[in-house]
Amino acid sequence: MDTALDTLNYRKLYESGELEKRIEKAYKLLENCSLCPRRCGVNRRKGETGFCKSGEELEVSSFHSHFGEEPPISGYGGSGTIFLTHCNLRCLFCQNYPISHLGNGNKISTQELTQMMLSLQKRGCHNINLVTPTHFIPQILSGFSQAVERGLNIPLVYNCSGYENVETLQLLEGIVDIYMPDLKYGTREAGEKYSSAPDYFEIAKKAMKEMHRQVGDLRLNKEGIAQRGLLVRHLVLPNGQAGTRRVFAFLAEEISSHTYISIMSQYFPAYKAQEFKELNRRITRQEYQQALDIVKQLGLERGWRQIN
């Protein structure tokens, strides 16, 4: 990937024809699906489905102005959130399991996605926030390209689980302005037990490095609204199950001590979490405080903490 593209925004990619080439490459990946690290190898263009249960058609659960994201993302005008149906990680404690596991949502055309993006921009949203987009990248890029043609000019936020292929992320260079991944687990055991992804941490570490290479640390405008960069979310799990120290140590030592991190306290035992004794409660105030202490010890003081 040409690193000179770093300096181009998505409109330039659109005007040069590069965006169209990326869309073609992304659709090619659907024929033997390797969009994400699951590498199911199914032909989604022929209606076959893999782990994420998604076919060729785009599926969306909802879209709206969201005021509950981190302050630099929601700002005063809201974040233009589009929830994609299904998920390539499918954590067993997912709060959004009706969307991620059960597939609640509607099939829509790429033209309808274009309309959603433009309507969110018109409402005054600061960005287009794609929630769980990984398994629909080709279709999203197609709708996005039409939106750019019709005047879309706000940052694109890629709000994902962190379980991403570097090669797929490279298709997004110069297109995505803000990467907002989760970094869920710092151990192989947790990835395997709760998300059927024993390689989660290893894969997510490579993905974070690629995201940071593309966009750098989070930069805000004078109003405190995010313009470009990396924002990493970490949900603290009960009984140390998220491997919080390992997650934050990686960010401090291998990404940047200026990484903007969002430390989330809202865990509750949703969906199948009750089947796991160690996950079957909310976190305590002490557990959240321990996570705050770790980031302080590691010198990671940029980001957002929740009042527990």
Segment interacting with ligand SF4 (CB under 6 A) among 6-14, 36-44, 243-251, 290-298: 36-44
* CA–CA dist 203, 260 (Å, integer): 20
Contacts (CB under 6 A) with ligand SF4, residues 101-140:
135
Longest dimension (CA), the chain: 55
d(CA 141, CA 20): 9
* Whether the Cβ atoms of residue 40 and residue 51 lie closer than 8 Å to each other: yes
84 binds ligand SF4 (CB under 6 A): no
Residue 172 engages ligand SF4 in binding (rule: CB under 6 A)? no
Phi, psi of 20 (to 5 degrees): -60, -40
Closest CB 234 distance from ligand SF4, rounded Å: 23
Q: At what angle do helices 110-122 and 137-149 cross, to 10 degrees?
A: 50
Among 10, 19, 26, 38, binds ligand SF4 (CB under 6 A): 38
Cβ 73 to ligand SF4 shortest distance, Å: 25
CA distances from 117 to 136, 155, 189, 256 (A): 15, 11, 39, 32
**Residue 40 sits in the site that holds ligand SF4 (CB under 6 A):** yes
Q: Give kind and range of the element (H or E) at residue 25.
A: helix 18-30
Binding-site size for ligand SF4 (CB under 6 A) equals: 14
User: Is the CB of 39 or the CB of 101 nearer to ligand SF4?
Assistant: 39
The region of 32-40, 178-186, 190-198, 236-244 touching ligand SF4 under the rule CB under 6 A is: 32-40
> Which positions touch ligand SF4 (CB under 6 A)?
33-36, 38-40, 42, 50-52, 54, 88, 135
